[in-house]
Every structure is written in C-alpha cells, then in structure tokens.
Amino acid sequence: MTEQNEHAVAADINPDEYYPDDEPNVPKHERFRRRIFRMVSVGVVDDLINQLYDIISTSALILNLLVTILSTYDSLDVRFGLLFDCVEVVTISFFAIDYVLRLYTANCLYPYDKEIKSILKYIFSFTGIVDFLSFFPYYMPSFFPAGAAVFRMFRVARILKLFRINAYYDSLNVITEVLLRKKQQLLSSVFIILVLMLAASLCMYSIENPAQPEVFTNAFSGIWWAASTLLTVGYGDIYPVTALGKTMGIVIAFLGVGMVAIPTGIISAGFVEQYSKLQSMDNGVEEDVHFIKIQITGHDRWAGKKISELNLPKGVIIAVIQREEETIIPRGNVRIAAGDKIVLGADSIKGDKPIYLKEIVLRANHPWNGQMIRDLDISRQTVILMIKRNGSTIIPKGDVILRKGDTVIMYSKLKGRLAGSEQSETEM
C-alpha cells in the first residue's frame, strides 16, 4: 500500500465533507442514509437538493434569530406577536427534524465506529449539543413551567449554529486556525491570570475586611474585585478604602493591563503568522501537475478494487473519479467500478525534458489510411505510442493497418507539427 493510500484510509470524515455513495452492492437503506447525510452536511453542494437544504437551514436560523430579537420590542410584539409565534414554531420544528436526521446519519459522520457509539459521539460533541439546545428548551416550559426563564436562556445557544457558515468561507476559518495553533500559549496566559487573580483577591480581603466588612464579606468578594480590576473593567461597586489597599489596587491594575495584553498579543501574532503563511502560499513557485483520464472496463484489474488496494507508483495520485453524473472524492475505501472515469495526476519533475505528444485524427483524405504502421514515412524522432479506434485501444504493432477515424498518439523528441496532418499537441 502506498503512502498516500495509507493516509486516505486513516483519514476521518468531518461533518462538512462529501461522503460518497461509492461502493457497489450497498443496501438501499444505506444508500438512502448516505444521501441524507450529504443533504444535511453544510457545504456539500454537489446537487440542487443539497444546496436547497443549506439555503433552507440558514434561512430558518436567521429568521428564528430575527424573530427572537424583534419580539423583545413591546410595540412589535403586540402587532406581530402571532406571526412571530408561527415563525418560531416552524423554525424550531425544522431544527428538531434536522437533529433527528443528524442522529440517523451519525454513522456516516463517524464511519469507523459502531452505530451506537457514533450516535453518542455526535450527541456529546459540540455541534450535537448546540443542535440539541437549538430546539429542546423551547418545549421544556410545557413540562416545567417554573424554569421557563432558564430554558429561554439556553435557547440563545442556537446562535452558535451560525458557525457552520465557515464551510462556505475559508477566511472565517482563520479564527479557528489561530485559536487551535495558539491554544497552549493561551491556556498558559489564562492560568497565570487565574493565579494572579486568586492571590490578589485573598490579599485584598485580608487588608480590607477589617475596614469594611460589609463590602469585603468573604473571599468571593475579593475575587470579584480582582476580576474587575485585572480585566480592566472596574465596575466601581467594590473598591479599597485603606491606604495599603489602594496601593495594592494600583499595583494590581498595572498588572491587569499587562495580563490582558498577553492573550491579545498571542492572538494578534497568530493572525499575522496565518496571513503570512497564506500569502507565502499565494506567492510560492508554481509547479505543473499533469493529468490523464482513463475509463475502467469490466476486464481491467482495477475494477472492483478499493483505492487503498491499488499499487500506485510514488508521486501518482487519483485526483477524482467520475461515475455517470456523480463526482466522487477518491478516499482509500472507495471501490472502483466498471465504467468509472478516473483522472490520474502526477507532479512534474524538475529539470526533466518535456515530452511532446501528438494526437492525429485520420480523416478520409489522410495519406495514412489503409497503410501498415511499418510502411509509414515518419521521422526517426517520432514513435507511435497508441491507436484509439471506436473506443478501444490498439497496440501499435508493425502489421496494424490504420483506418479512417483512427486516433494516433505519437511521441516526438522535437516539437512541431507533421505536415498535412490534423493533430493536437500535448506537452507533458
């Protein structure tokens, strides 16, 4: 198994990638589930239904958030309250159906896990929790009226579903990339802030409690003061009155400015690094990648095999597979079927001399019609590689007779056209 195929097998499926219905003899219910998975996955726009579902899903979320905001205005709620309630009921129902569909297709999201485990992984994932909170709190007041205010607060979590728009805009993913790359530094800075906050709160409580016991009543009062001071908020509801307390407050305020600047600097540096990386990729040296399309028949050795089972040469990849009207991403577990059109890609070799291929279509008046290959008057610098006739490939032996309509592919060491021939040239 080649290196790139091992990588393809090990690759996991993320929720926004296209999951191909690629293996033959797949049961109908499994094909249906994979079709539903492609539909509910954001950013999969391979057909009209998937695009429409994304539009409906995004529109329902925006409408729901808009109604939630507008309903807070008493004048609008009086006039359009019934309309707001109808929109909320419809959108919440859509979120519930969407959650059920994602539970049903969880095994497509985690294809290497068992059915129950994949469902549990989705339920307890961040996106699963957000999807659940987007609709479930709406129904809870019917069963627990006393907790209506708390349940309404949880419904705000549905705004986090907007992060799925990242699937369409790579620029929005820069934020996620920066936070993931700098998470160790950010955690270290947060830990330092927490330690400093705890130390400052205990010291301030010890100093100020004797002077104003009704303000600094316990350690938590000191933590509240330390948090508002270190984070440069300064609510003013609690402050020191003693000389030593004020002096310590000045020191803590200065430290707070520095502490807040640490994570800010880390994130800013991360943005600079990320954009510099993207710019260097844009300004990098371009190398050609050569592609060739082949069609698999039932007699080919690749038919029925998985991509991970193919012994591809190093540097050669399967770029894409076309199966009827469907385009399939060539993962390691994709099984090649008869009739597939496979696009192979290979990197160019630096310093290698270019190879010129000439493709000649023999018309009715072409002088090669009816001649054997050995009798052709061609240059010694030119070699016939292949003959395509009625969709089949013929090995160019010397006794092969050329016919009208044949496509002759030749290799030439010299770039140029053959006189009197209708041809197209390809440089490799």
Is the per-residue pLDDT at 241 higher than 80? yes
**CA distance linking residue 246 with residue 242, whole number of Å:** 6
Dist. CA 253–CA 231, nearest whole Å: 8
At 182-205, the pLDDT tens digits run: 888 889 888 888 888 888 888 888
What CATH architecture does domain 356-427 belong to?
2-Layer Sandwich (3.30)
With 0-12 CB in 10 A as exposed, 13-18 as middle and 19+ as buried, what is 328? buried
Range in 20-34, 225-239, 257-271, 289-303 the model is least confident about? 20-34
Tell me: the pLDDT tens digits for 121-167? 999 998 888 888 888 888 877 666 655 555 666 767 777 777 766 65
387 vs 1, more confident: 387
* Token pair 């290196």: residue: 3
Give the CA angle between residues 27, 31, 36 to the nearest 5°: 145
Name the pairing type of β-strands 407-412 and 356-361: antiparallel
Please tell me whether residue 15 adopts helix, strand or coil conformation: coil
CATH class of 181-282: mainly alpha
Confidence of residue 420 (pLDDT cuts 50, 70, 90): very low
- Residues 109-127 have a mean pLDDT of 88
370-403 tens-digit pLDDT: 888 888 877 666 788 888 888 778 888 888 899 8
pLDDT bin (cut points 50, 70, 90) of residue 94 is: very high
Give the CA diameter of the chain: 113
Using one digit for the tens of pLDDT, what is the confidence trace for 28-52? 888 888 888 888 887 666 678 888 8
Q: What is the pLDDT of residue 9?
A: 34
Alpha carbon of residue 422 to chain centroid: 45
Q: Is 308 left (phi over 0), alpha (psi -120 to 50) or beta?
A: alpha
The three-point CA angle 43-45-49 to 5° equals: 115
162-176: average pLDDT: 64
Sheet with 382-389, side-by-side order of all strands: 392-394, 382-389, 407-412, 356-361, 423-427
What per-residue confidence (pLDDT) applies to 96?
Answer: 92
pTM: 0.51
For the chain, the average pLDDT equals 77
Average pLDDT of span 90-110: 91
Look at residue 272 and tell me whether its pLDDT is greater than 50: yes
Cα 212 from Cα 218, distance rounded (Å): 11
Q: What is the pLDDT of residues 398-417, one digit of tens each?
A: 888 998 888 888 876 655 54
Per-residue confidence band for 13, with pLDDT thresholds at 50, 70 and 90: very low
Residue range 339-363: mean pLDDT, rounded? 72
> Which CATH fold would you assign to the domain 289-347?
Alpha-Beta Plaits (3.30.70)
- DSSP SS3 for 384: strand
* Residue in 205, 357, 362 with CA at minimum distance from that of residue 290: 357
Please give the pLDDT value at position 91. 92
Residue of 8, 35, 10, 5 lying closest to 21 (CA atoms): 35
Distance CA 226, CA 349 (A): 62
- pLDDT higher than 50, residue 3: no
Give the whole-angstrom CA distance, residue 367 versus residue 359.
Answer: 16
pLDDT in tens, 248-262: 888 888 888 887 788
Mean pLDDT for 207-228 is 85
Mean pLDDT of 361-378: 83
Cα distance between residue 249 and residue 162, in whole Å: 41
Q: Is residue 425 scored above 50 in pLDDT? A: no
